[in-house]
Amino acid sequence: MSSERIWVGTPFILNFEDQRQFFIPLEDQGHEVIIDDCPAYLSEDELVEKIKNATAVIAGAEPYTNKVMEKTSNLKIIARAGVGVNNIDIPSATKNNIVVTNAEGQNSSSVSEHFFGLLINCTRRIHWMNENIRKGAWREIQPALVPLKDQTLGIIGFGNIGKLVAKRAKAFEMNVIAYDIIQDQEAAERIGVKFVSLDELAKESDFVTCHVPLTPDTKHIVNKELLEKMKPEAFVFNTSRGPVFNLDEVTEALKNNTIQGAGIDVYPEEPPDYSHPIFTMENAVLTPHMGGRGIDAVRNTINHAVTCVDDFLKGKKPSTVINKDLYDN
């Protein structure tokens, strides 16, 4: 087996002091692993310079555009250390015979737990009380708080993460409804979930949470039209992909009290535009795309990406190939 160069761009690796531990299977075979310093933003030209001699990359959110792939002729596999592949031009990868994989299922528990962190923070106003008690407030920060028991949770997207959210919601004695174009009736019956239309979900839910991939059909699925069908005391949450929310229209709904609150972990652009008015809204709880950052999820995700690269370099088909046409044809 020839020695290949593997570039690591996922910022997940920065969570660990011993970063080399993950790449022992590759280095033991004589491959060279280059761990980048993982800046928050890379331009196309900067990325090309970093990966121009790489056969494989373990990717974060850097831009794998057609321009990048046309200029990196050695590149054979992009193993995304995450689930979403919106930063990768899949048709261009296929055209250039570059295999793309993701880490589907490796961070599902972490994302579902993060949603509940946002949910409880919003309903119990923990961040607001924590901030104000430090300023000496007491009686004036003792409002009535929103319960979870007997409330209705509407889940948009009943896949791996949606199912875990539903199971955890049942532990809070919540009613759970879901919308998905593919209805897993067996799982729904087992967990105790009822499938409804998107309109019904908006009207009936006290909390709406999104767990869908970004597609033309899911882009801006939470928009003005949907928000206006919701209860004025309802909350919306997004831990999936930023453009699933029309962020301008969600912000306007918060400002006009069309809904009561929001919990948001993902943004249309990342890092986000900090001048956006969402960052001034006191009834929004915001986190910097941390849903999949549970330490277990980070380990699982990196290990899975390494396995995908290892399998590919050994001539095997990785388990989570996105552009399956390269193998099918």
Q: Is 289 a catalytic residue?
A: yes
Extract the tokens encoding 207.
Answer: 């909390």
Which one of 241, 249, 293, 304 is the catalytic residue? 241
DSSP string, 237-280: EE-S-GGGB-HHHHHHHHHTTSSSEEEE---SSSS--TTSGGGG
User: Which residues touch 279 (CB under 8 Å, ≥6 apart)?
Assistant: 272, 286
Q: Is 270 a catalytic residue?
A: yes
Extract the tokens encoding 123.
Answer: 């309903």
Task: Report the SS3 class of residue 134.
Answer: coil
User: Which residues touch 155 (CB under 8 Å, ≥6 apart)?
Assistant: 162, 165, 166, 176, 177, 178, 179, 193, 209, 211
Amino acid at 265: D
CA distance 292 to 104: 11
Burial class (CB in 10 A: 0-12, 13-18, 19+), 326: middle
Amino acid at 276: H
Q: Is 114 a catalytic residue?
A: no
Which one of 5, 270, 276, 299 is the catalytic residue? 270
Which one of 31, 80, 211, 289 is the catalytic residue? 289
Q: Which residues are catalytic?
A: 241, 270, 289
